[in-house]
Amino acid sequence: MKNVLDSVLEEKHQGSFEFTAKDLKSGADVRWCAGCGDFSVLAQVQRIMPTLGIAKENIAVISGIGCSSRFPYYMDTYGMHTLHGRALAIASGLKIARPELSVWVATGDGDCMSIGGNHFIHAARRNVNMNVLMFNNGIYSLTKGQYSPLSLKGQITKSSPLGVLDDPFNASALALGAGSSFVARSYDKDAKLMKVVLERAARHNGFAFVEIYSNCVIFNDGAYDGYTTKENRFDNTVNLEHGMPLVFGKDLEKGIKLDGFRPTVVSLTDGKHSKDDLLIHDEADTTLAAILADMTYNPTVPQPMGVFHAVDRTPYDQRTTEQLEHYAIQPGAGDMNALLKGNDSWEIK
Partner 1 sequence: MEKQEKYLDGLTIRFAGDSGDGMQLSGTQFSNTSGAMGNYVNTFPDYPAEIRAPEGTLYGVSAYQIQIATKEISTFGAFIDVLVAMNASSLKVSLPKLSKGAVIIANESGFGAKNLKLAEYETNPLEDGSLSDFEVHSVPIVETMKEVCADLEMSPKFIERTKNLFALGIVYALYSRDSEHTIKWLNEKFGKKPVVLDANLRALKKGMEYTAVNDEFTTIYKVEKSEVEPGFYRNITGNEAAALGLVIAANRANMHLFLGSYPITPATEILHFISGYKKHGVKHLQAEDEIAGLTSAIGASFGGYLAATTTSGPGLSLKVEAMGLACILELPLVIIDVQRAGPSTGIPTKPEQTDLLMAMYGRHGDAPIPIVAATDAADCFNMTIEAARIALKYMTPVILLTDGYIAQGTNAFKVPHIEDIPEMSPTFATDPETYQSYKRDPETLARMWAVPGTQGLEHRIGGLEKEDITGNVSSDSENHQLMTNLRQAKVDGIAKDIPLLQVHGEQSGDLLILGWGGTYGAIKDAWNDLRCDGKVVSRAHLKYLNPFPANIEEVLNNFDRVLIPELNMGDLKMMIQGKFLKRIIGLNRVDGLPLQTNVVYNKVVELLESKEG
Site residues for ligand TPP, 139-178, by CB under 6 A, read 139-143, 148
Whole-angstrom distance, CA of residue 96 vs CA of residue 125: 15
Using alpha carbons, list the distances in angstroms from residue 25 to 19, 28, 104, 313.
11, 8, 16, 33
The residues in 150-169 that bind Mg ion, with binding defined as CB under 5 A, are none
185 forms bridges with which residues in the sheet? 211, 306
For Mg ion, which residue of 42, 59, 109, 113 counts as binding (CB under 5 A)? 109
Tell me the CA end-to-end span of the chain in Å, nearest whole number: 32
Site string for ligand TPP, 44-83 (x = CB under 6 A): ---------------------xxxx---------------
**Cα 248 to the chain's mean position, in Å?**
24
Nearer to ligand SF4, 57 or 225 (CB): 225
Residues 278/279/283/284 CA torsion (nearest 10 deg):
130
DSSP 8-class letter at 113: I
137-196: which residues touch a copy of itself (CB under 8 A)?
149, 162, 165-170, 173-179
Query: Please, how many CA atoms are within 13 Å of residue 188, restricted to the half-sphere of its CB?
Result: 23
Q: How far is the CB of 345 from a copy of itself (least distance, A)?
A: 21
Tell me the three state secondary structure of residue 109.
helix
CB 201 to partner 1: min, Å: 19
73: contact with partner 1 by CB under 8 A? yes
3-state secondary structure of 200: helix
Number of residues counted as binding a copy of itself (CB under 8 A): 39
Minimum CB distance to ligand SF4 smaller for 141 or for 237: 141
Q: What does the binding site for a copy of itself look like in residue numbers (CB under 8 A)?
A: 114-118, 121-122, 125-127, 149, 162, 165-170, 173-179, 261, 285-288, 290-291, 294, 313, 316, 319-320, 323, 327
